[in-house]
Structure 1
């Protein structure tokens, strides 16, 4: 893998050398030629950044004793590439002094800050809308819960009234059953009395006939 990293380093050196040459050429060109050189430099920067990413992956695979060495090199390559990008920006804009470049960067930073503030404001507004929606949902849920509790209370009262009516019906049925039982006992008693009276009448009649026949024979 070390040889692969060294190959990446050679490619990176070639790219940065080409970038340096084209940046120097950029300040001396105008119009369409300057646009073409700008595009070429941007492509070279993309290739260099991609190459550093591949190199970073390879460095992570190195043994611990070699990893620190290559990480130090990689860090210096990234620093160098950042410096070249600033040089490219200055050359592309035709700025001759570092102070002008810093002033431009301050303007860009201010614009970035405004953009971030706007983004934060939009995020806060979206969060506020979500909170309002959540609050309305909670209120609606509470109302639904209160309605459900009221319905359950009403159903409970209905069930209690139905239970009371059933208990009253059971009580009335018990009373009716006791009345019917008493009536049945009286009916049975009356029948027994009637049977007994009938039997007594038959006995009396039989005795009367017997004595009458006996008396006529004598």
Structure 2
């Protein structure tokens, strides 16, 4: 099951990196708003690829040692590939800026560079905001899960307490029953001893009566 999930992640990662390669290639061929559109698309895809790599790393830990080594090597190569793509995008952006600098001069380059930095900062803020929002949702979900666990534990504690009370009641009832049975056994033993004593007394009386009757006739 875990291996199948890893293969699914790998397929998704392959598709995402192919899209990244396309957008990075388009950055060098366009200017202005269209260029920035490809930059933003590439940045989003980089985030998606990073998340896929994190998911793969978590799944690799669930593999047996032999499979874990194989997939761990693959994940490392994917990380290297992603770093290379990020460098390629930076080079593509710098290459465009350099050409524009040659054509339009230093002032235009400075203005374009400042605009690019502002866009980059905005994109970073957006990514940070998304991560914070994701972290907040995760914290809320964790808090809800914790509250549910506490509620379940409280319910289980009440159930255990009720079971303990029932056991104590049963022990009390068994103790009373044991004392009653002990008293009945004592009475039975006493009655048997009394019956044996009466039987012995009757035997003695009959024996004495027979003895005197026989002696009188003799």
1:99 paired to 2:121: yes
Task: Tell me the SS of whatever aligns to 2:34.
Answer: coil
Q: RMSD between aligned alpha carbons?
A: 4.3
- CA distance in 1: counterparts of 2:153 and 2:77, whole angstroms: 50
* Residue 171 to residue 154, structure 1, CA distance change in 2 (3 Å): same
2:136 matched to which residue of 1? 114
CA distance 1:124–1:146, change in 2 (3 Å): same
Residue 156, structure 1, aligned to residue 178, structure 2: yes
CA–CA separation in structure 2 for the residues paired with 1:155 and 1:78: 78
2:158 is aligned to 136
Give the Cα–Cα distance (whole angstroms) in 2 for the partners of residues 164 and 191 of structure 1: 40
Provide the residue aligned with 1:177 in structure 2: 199
Structure 1: which 4+ aligned runs deviate by more than 3 Å?
Answer: 14-19, 21-25, 70-75, 80-86
Gaps of 5+ in 1: 1-10, 62-66, 87-94, 197-218
Q: May I ask how many residue pairs the two structures share in their alignment?
A: 153
Q: After the TM superposition, which residues 22-41 of structure 1 pair with which residues of structure 2 at under 5 Å, given as runs?
A: 28=34
Residue-by-residue CA offset, 1:120-169 (whole Å, 9 max, x unaligned): 21022112112211210221121011111111101111111111111111
Structure 2 length-normalised TM: 0.54
Q: Which residue of 2 is the match for residue 79 of structure 1?
A: 83
Name the larger-Rg structure: 1
Secondary structure at the residue paired with 2:158? helix
Which position in structure 1 is the counterpart of 2:24?
A: 20
**TM-score, normalisation: structure 1:** 0.54
